[in-house]
Amino acid sequence: MDYSPPLDRWLPHLLSVWRSGPGPADGLTTSEADRIAVGVKELSRGLTGDRSLVGQRYLARGDLLGAYLLYYWPVSFAQTLFALKQGSVARGGRALDLGSGPAPGAFALLEAGWNHVTAVDRSAEALAVATKLASLGGHRLETSVWDADQGLPAGEPWDLIVAGHFFNEMASGSADRIERRAAFLQALAGRLTATGRILILEPASHIPNAEALALRDALVAAGWGVSGPCFFQGACPARAAGAACHDVLRWKVPHLVAQTARRAGIDKRELPFTWLVVDPKGPPKVDPALLRVVSEPLLNKAGRRRVVACGAAGRFSLSAPGAYRSPEWIRVNRGQALRVTDPELREGGWGLGPQTRLSSP
């Protein structure tokens, strides 16, 4: 079943904040959708295609802010809320949405039960939209104009810092960009509480994903732990193999997003994205029976169904004969966590046999 994020009450507010006049409450008019689609295509090309907008103040442009608000805001909200739940990031007191834009991450935090959330961004226009959304939704949201060039954001120690699509734009194009991002995170760790962690979300496209994995490895080398989605705590084996590693959120696409996606020629039925929960205190204790599926299911020449999985022992193949009918195995897909006990040891990985027990953690 597709994930259904609680967006119904937010979509009318997004429309209300964006529109300057009357219009349908449940979606866009044809002309509005056409106009938003133009901005969506420019954002898509500029952030994940030729990346010409990376590092630019694109949210200061009204047309691009509108495209972000009515298309990417619901996507980012859904991804952040999903990662918070998958990463088992417990509710806490104080959370910071770093480089928030119009704050989909902050509203996902509020939805997840965080009771004191602050959004900071260099775009005063985007923060003004976030403030209006908070008022319409009956939430209290603190905001502050902040630019990374000014140093660390002000505020009390945080229980959680969320950085959505933030680090891939930091020092973009610089030869030492990974080192600079890691140094910023090391400094940011000093603003966390004793149990605080950082949630990083990035696109799944090649460059942002590869750089997120490189940043992960730099942090691990410095003694940080990765409490989600990774179970393996060493250097990323996917990166070592030259492969990508990202999650995919299968969701119920809101009508507002579907309208624009059709016109922009973008398929949004699945949302591939990269996410990491990192902890400066060090790696967590990992159950060796836990694995994360990091590929789509495949069928090999021998008729065995297989996936690539990653766990405490690293990255390897997990496969089963075609007749293996465990409910968890039938539903297996990228991003899923599995507990595998008594596997069969096979060349290059684990096999699921008569004695194997497969369950959800």
**Contact assessment for residue 71 and residue 34, using Cβ atoms and an 8 Å cutoff:** no
Q: Is the pLDDT of residue 33 over 70?
A: yes
Segment 188-213, tens digit of pLDDT: 999 999 999 999 999 999 999 999 99
**What domains are there in the chain, each with its CATH number?**
11-279 (3.40.50.150), 290-359 (2.40.50.140)
The pLDDT assigned to 61 comes to 79
Give the global pTM: 0.93
Tokens for 47, please give them. 């952030």
For residue 205, the SS3 value is coil
Q: What is the C-alpha to C-alpha distance for residues 352 and 309, in angstroms, rounded to an integer?
A: 13
Per-residue pLDDT, averaged over 338-352, amounts to: 94
Percent of the chain at pLDDT above 70?
98
Q: Please state, for a pLDDT cut of 90, what percent of the chain lies above it.
A: 68
pLDDT of residue 313: 92
Residues near 24 by beta carbon (within 8 Å), at least 6 away in sequence: none
* DSSP codes joined into one string, 268-314: -SEEEEEEEEEETT-PPP--TTEEEE-S--EE-TTS-EEEEEEETTE
Q: Are 152 and 183 in contact (CB under 8 A)?
A: no
Q: What is the mean pLDDT of the chain?
A: 91
Largest interatomic CA distance in the chain: 65
- Give me the residue label for tokens 């961004």: 121
Per mean pLDDT, which range of 16-20, 302-306, 314-318, 352-356 is the poorest?
A: 16-20
Q: Is 208 helix (H, G, I), strand (E, B) or coil?
A: helix
Beta-strand ranges (E) seen in the chain are: 94-98, 116-121, 142-145, 158-164, 192-203, 225-228, 247-250, 270-279, 290-293, 298-299, 305-311, 314-320, 337-341, 344-346, 349-351, 357-359
> pLDDT tens across 282-323, in order?
999 999 999 999 999 998 878 899 999 999 999 999 999 988
User: For residues 99 and 102, what is the distance between their CA atoms, to the nearest angstrom?
Assistant: 9
Q: Supply the DSSP symbol for 176.
A: T
| Six-digit token string for 341 | 């006990």
DSSP string, 72-89: IHHHHHHHHHHHHHHTT-
pLDDT of 89 over the 90 cut: no
Quick one: pLDDT at residue 106?
97
- List alpha helices for 112-203, DSSP H: 124-137, 177-189
Q: Determine the straight-line distance between the first and last CA of the chain, rounded to whole angstroms.
A: 18
In this structure, of 63-72, 80-89, 178-187, the range with the lowest mean pLDDT score is 63-72
Taking the C-alpha atoms of residue 46 and residue 48, their distance in angstroms, rounded to an integer, is 6
